[in-house]
């Protein structure tokens, strides 16, 4: 832990605490917070502070924090926003180390008054050294050290912190979610050590708490409930530290709507959006992404309930079901999420497992998922699973269960799967929408089984677990130092070229193509034609068919403005197309006309660059053409990714699959072309990222013999807002 983090020790492990705004009135937040703080069993003093003085909940109430005896490390302020600044200054004079500001009424108001209040809070922290959590937060909670400073209902509930290093700690932008998170974790038997809602982050931010939790001995898993991250590079470094420390990180992004991207000029920006950008960043940093509180709790139970899977064998799911329909549900949900089942693609067992099955007299068809009815006796499950393991299939056990007619058989199945968990170390997951018998349910939980009542949540948690287990951390822990293909002169030229556009504006297609060609992207040959005679010369040089396009100032999408003619094969058609474009351009205030050869292709892709503040730039790969946004099928790759990672992402994408289908034996060469083009865009970002808002290479035409872009749009970034 860095020296800068020592102040967070006083947030989570104070020696003395105070509640400013404590109240004697039952039900008021100041009364509730004081009761919870004392009921948690905190070993030190908890001072009530209220100008009225007297006594509250049997303890002397001090009129100000400065009257409280002895040092006070941490205070929780339950007072109006208007009184916050004065109280913070009093805390600084007292020598308080950390203040938690519970009030709303700051920047989240969206007006000048709220912003001014928050800036004053930030200035007090900066000038006095007082660390501040919030404002607009619900408090802090630390079951491992019996600290409960907050007014959520769950601040008053008894909690199980779990064994040291076997509990989850969560830092969130939403404090009210505490009352959803805590019960979910209890339901799955997950120890819960710490919860810190950071509110508006005027001083202490989410990443600082994340950093602290990596070194916290009580924390074995870290949950992040994220509205927005301030610094992608810092986040990536922290994710690498957490991975190296053996602490899995689970990320839940709030506000995943792409509405904010709809007004963007470039297709790439509209296709990227906040949701996909965060998902791409999480994936690149080894953070298991989830979409719900229940999935976060379930994933935490799986991640902390086993050792890392042996990925050298078959890590697919070994499924058992007490009903044929349940087996179909398991197979369907696994397929929906790309989770492989152990064994053959046809579901049949082979090797030692097949030999054991051959000895089962009277049995039906036994495949994965294993239907207990076809076993013709649950005692046969144990030797089958042992044979499955001997074949190298040691992935998680997954049971779809309902109550069997005899509880003894429920317990026999449970003991068989519990024994497999002990042998393999892989998770044991049970999903039972109708519920188990209480004794059977308790038996699974007592032996580390994770029991779900919802099939979707079960598989979402399994997907997050599998992603975390399969993550290759080489690039994260030891980023490759790759040389740019661009020399300094080229980088300077690229910067000059993009700065020819006004901030927030874009380069015309021919200028965009010239810039991208210099960066190393494969661009079709383009000729500017000033009149019909030059257009005819272009037809002779480039050959038929020809595409003729008009470039008008301020018009980014030429098709929508009627500025594209394709399939021009002879001079008569050329003259007509040129005349039509000239008339349209005149009506738009002028412009110029370009000619390009038509390129035969089997597939149209879109490549690009999108910028997601403050996460930085992302490379975009998807299905393209004029219907790129309608298809809405893209892969995002953080621009810091290595070339090898880009190649992996291309091969695993739908675009990569399309190339394989349409290019046949030439598919590896064409995929390499796409990798080269994305690497060129990455090098462009490295050369002049501060000037780039977005890049569209759309469409990129791909066929067995060629890969070339026939349209481009480069948008210049606006200066950062003050």
Place of tokens 């040389």: 483
d(CA 574, CA 549): 11
Q: What is the pLDDT of residues 75-97, one digit of tens each?
A: 999 999 999 999 999 999 999 99
pLDDT at residue 347 tops 50: yes
Query: 447 and 586 share a domain?
Result: no
pLDDT at residue 710 tops 80: yes
**pLDDT at residue 308, as a whole number:** 58
Give the domain CATH number at 660: 3.30.470.20
Q: Is 99 among the domain residues?
A: yes
Query: 693 and 588 share a domain?
Result: no
Tally of domains within the chain: 4
Query: 607 and 544 share a domain?
Result: no
**pLDDT at residue 483, as a whole number:** 83
- Residue 15 per-residue DSSP state: S
Write out the residue range of the structural domain in which residue 57 sits.
Answer: 3-256
Query: 626 and 579 share a domain?
Result: no
Query: 328 and 238 share a domain?
Result: no
Give the domain CATH number at 454: 3.40.50.261
Tokens of 362: 């009277």
The bridge status of strand 527-529 relative to strand 131-133 is: unpaired
Query: 130 and 175 share a domain?
Result: yes
Choose the final residue of a domain: 446, 468, 490: 468
Q: Is 100 among the domain residues?
A: yes
Three-state DSSP class for residue 297: helix
d(CA 575, CA 719): 43
Rounded percentage of the chain residues whose pLDDT exceeds 70: 95
- Residue 347 per-residue DSSP state: S
**pLDDT at residue 307, as a whole number:** 63
Cα end-to-end distance, the chain, whole Å: 32
Q: Give the pLDDT band (50/70/90) at residue 1.
A: very low
**pLDDT at residue 694, as a whole number:** 94
Choose the final residue of a domain: 237, 256, 275: 256
Please state the rounded mean pLDDT for residues 13-24: 97
Give the domain CATH number at 558: 3.30.1490.20
Query: 576 and 617 share a domain?
Result: no
Place of tokens 């002895």: 70
Please state the rounded mean pLDDT for residues 132-145: 95
Residue from 23, 76, 73 nearest 50 by CA = 23
**pLDDT at residue 479, as a whole number:** 85
Mean per-residue pLDDT of the chain: 92
Instruction: Write 117-120 long-range contacts (CB < 8 A, 24+).
Output: 117/81, 117/82, 117/84, 117/85, 118/200, 118/202, 120/85
Choose the final residue of a domain: 420, 450, 468: 468
Tokens of 710: 């026939």
Q: Is 269 among the domain residues?
A: no
Q: Is 519 among the domain residues?
A: no
Q: Which residues contact 603 (CB under 8 A, 6 or more apart)?
A: 623, 655, 658, 659, 662, 701, 702, 703
**pLDDT at residue 273, as a whole number:** 66
Q: What is the pLDDT of residues 364-402, one digit of tens each?
A: 999 999 999 999 999 999 999 999 999 999 899 999 999
Q: What is the pLDDT of residues 460-500, one digit of tens each?
A: 999 999 999 889 888 888 888 888 889 999 999 999 999 99
- Residue 485 per-residue DSSP state: S
Query: 321 and 444 share a domain?
Result: yes
**pLDDT at residue 267, as a whole number:** 61
Query: 170 and 59 share a domain?
Result: yes
Tokens of 260: 């904010």
Q: Give the pLDDT band (50/70/90) at residue 5.
A: very low
- Residue 135 per-residue DSSP state: S
Place of tokens 């904010």: 260
**pLDDT at residue 484, as a whole number:** 85
Query: 594 and 611 share a domain?
Result: no
**pLDDT at residue 269, as a whole number:** 64
Q: Is 232 among the domain residues?
A: yes
Sheet strands (E) in 305-458: 318-321, 370-371, 397-400, 428-431, 450-452
**pLDDT at residue 3, as a whole number:** 37
Residue from 580, 576, 629, 638 nearest 606 by CA = 629
Q: What is the pLDDT of residues 192-227, one digit of tens each?
A: 999 999 999 999 999 999 999 999 999 999 999 999
d(CA 700, CA 184): 47
Q: Give the pLDDT band (50/70/90) at residue 2.
A: very low
Please state the rounded mean pLDDT for residues 260-276: 61
Q: Is 172 among the domain residues?
A: yes
pLDDT at residue 160 tops 90: no
Query: 402 and 416 share a domain?
Result: yes
- Find the largest Cα–Cα distance for the chain: 98
Q: Give the pLDDT band (50/70/90) at residue 721.
A: low
Q: Is 302 among the domain residues?
A: no
Query: 417 and 447 share a domain?
Result: yes
**pLDDT at residue 4, as a whole number:** 44
Three-state DSSP class for residue 509: helix
Over the Cα atoms of the chain, what is R_g? 31
Please state the rounded mean pLDDT for residues 222-236: 94
**pLDDT at residue 260, as a whole number:** 44
**pLDDT at residue 485, as a whole number:** 87
Please state the rounded mean pLDDT for residues 430-446: 96
Give the domain CATH number at 50: 3.40.50.720
Residue from 511, 544, 548 nearest 532 by CA = 548
DSSP 278-296: HHHHHHHTT-EEESSHHHH
Q: Is 58 among the domain residues?
A: yes
């Amino acid at each position: 832990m860095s020296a800068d983090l020592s102040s967070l020790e006083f947030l989570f492990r104070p020696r003395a605490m105070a509640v400013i705004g404590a109240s004697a009135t039952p039900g008021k937040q100041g009364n509730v917070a004081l009761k919870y703080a004392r009921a948690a069993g905190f070993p030190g003093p908890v001072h009530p502070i209220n100008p009225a003085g007297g006594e509250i909940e049997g303890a002397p109430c001090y009129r100000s924090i400065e009257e409280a005896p002895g040092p006070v490390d941490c205070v929780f302020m339950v007072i109006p926003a208007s009184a916050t600044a004065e109280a913070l200054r009093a805390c600084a004079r007292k020598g308080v180390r950390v203040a938690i500001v519970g009030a709303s009424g700051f920047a989240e108001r969206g007006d000048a008054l709220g912003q001014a209040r928050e800036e004053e809070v930030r200035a007090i922290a900066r000038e006095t050294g007082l660390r501040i959590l919030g404002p607009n937060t619900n408090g802090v909670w630390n079951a491992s050290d019996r600290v409960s400073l907050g007014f959520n209902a769950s601040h008053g509930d008894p909690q199980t912190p779990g064994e040291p290093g076997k509990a989850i700690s969560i830092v969130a932008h939403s404090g009210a979610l505490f009352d959803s998170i805590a019960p979910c974790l209890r339901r799955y038997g997950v120890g819960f050590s710490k919860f810190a809602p950071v509110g508006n982050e005027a001083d202490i931010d989410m990443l600082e708490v994340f950093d602290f939790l990596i070194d916290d001995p009580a924390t074995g898993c870290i949950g992040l409930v994220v509205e927005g991250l301030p610094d992608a590079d810092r986040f990536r470094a922290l994710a690498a530290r957490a991975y190296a420390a053996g602490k899995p990180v689970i990320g839940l992004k709030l506000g995943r709507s792409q509405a904010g991207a709809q007004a963007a000029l470039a297709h790439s920006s509209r296709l990227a959006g906040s949701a996909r950008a965060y998902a791409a960043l999480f994936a690149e940093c080894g953070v298991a992404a989830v979409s719900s509180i229940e999935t976060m709790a379930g994933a935490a139970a799986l991640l902390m309930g086993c050792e890392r899977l042996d990925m050298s064998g078959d890590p697919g799911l070994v499924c058992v079901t007490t009903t044929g329909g349940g087996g179909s549900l398991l197979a369907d949900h696994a397929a929906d999420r790309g989770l492989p089942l152990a064994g053959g693609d046809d579901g049949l067992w082979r090797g030692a497992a097949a030999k054991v099955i051959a000895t089962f007299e009277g049995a039906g068809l036994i495949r994965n998922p294993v239907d207990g009815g076809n076993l013709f006796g649950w005692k046969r499950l144990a030797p089958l699973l042992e044979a499955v393991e001997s074949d190298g299939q040691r992935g998680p056990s997954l049971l779809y269960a309902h109550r069997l007619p005899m509880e003894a058989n429920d317990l026999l199945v449970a003991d068989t799967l519990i024994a497999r968990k002990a042998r393999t170390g892989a998770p044991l997951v049970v999903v039972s929408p109708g519920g188990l018998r209480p004794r059977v349910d308790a038996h699974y939980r007592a032996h580390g089984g994770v029991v779900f009542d919802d099939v979707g949540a079960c598989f979402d948690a399994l997907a997050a677990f599998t992603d975390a287990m399969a993550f290759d951390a080489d690039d994260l822990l030891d980023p490759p130092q790759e040389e740019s293909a661009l020399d300094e002169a080229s980088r300077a030229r690229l910067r000059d070229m993009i700065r020819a556009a006004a901030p927030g504006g874009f380069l015309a297609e021919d200028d965009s193509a010239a810039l991208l060609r210099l960066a190393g992207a494969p661009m079709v040959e383009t000729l500017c034609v000033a009149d019909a005679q030059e257009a005819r010369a272009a037809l002779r040089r480039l050959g038929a068919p020809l595409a003729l396009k008009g470039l008008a100032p301020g018009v980014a999408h030429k098709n929508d403005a009627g500025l594209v003619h394709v399939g021009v094969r002879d001079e008569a058609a050329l003259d007509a197309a040129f005349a039509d474009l000239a008339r349209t351009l005149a009506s738009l205030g002028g412009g110029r006309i370009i000619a390009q050869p038509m390129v035969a292709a089997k597939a149209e892709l879109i490549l690009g660059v999108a910028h997601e503040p403050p996460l930085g730039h992302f490379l975009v790969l998807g299905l393209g053409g004029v219907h790129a946004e309608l298809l809405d099928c893209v892969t995002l790759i953080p621009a810091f990714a290595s070339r090898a990672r880009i190649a992996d992402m291309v091969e695993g994408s739908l675009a990569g699959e399309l190339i394989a289908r349409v290019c046949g034996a030439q598919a590896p060469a064409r995929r390499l072309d796409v990798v080269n083009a994305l690497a060129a865009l990455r090098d462009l970002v490295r050369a002049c990222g501060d000037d780039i808002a977005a890049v569209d290479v759309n469409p990129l035409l791909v066929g067995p013999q060629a890969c070339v872009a026939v349209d481009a749009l480069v948008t210049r970034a606006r200066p950062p807002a003050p």
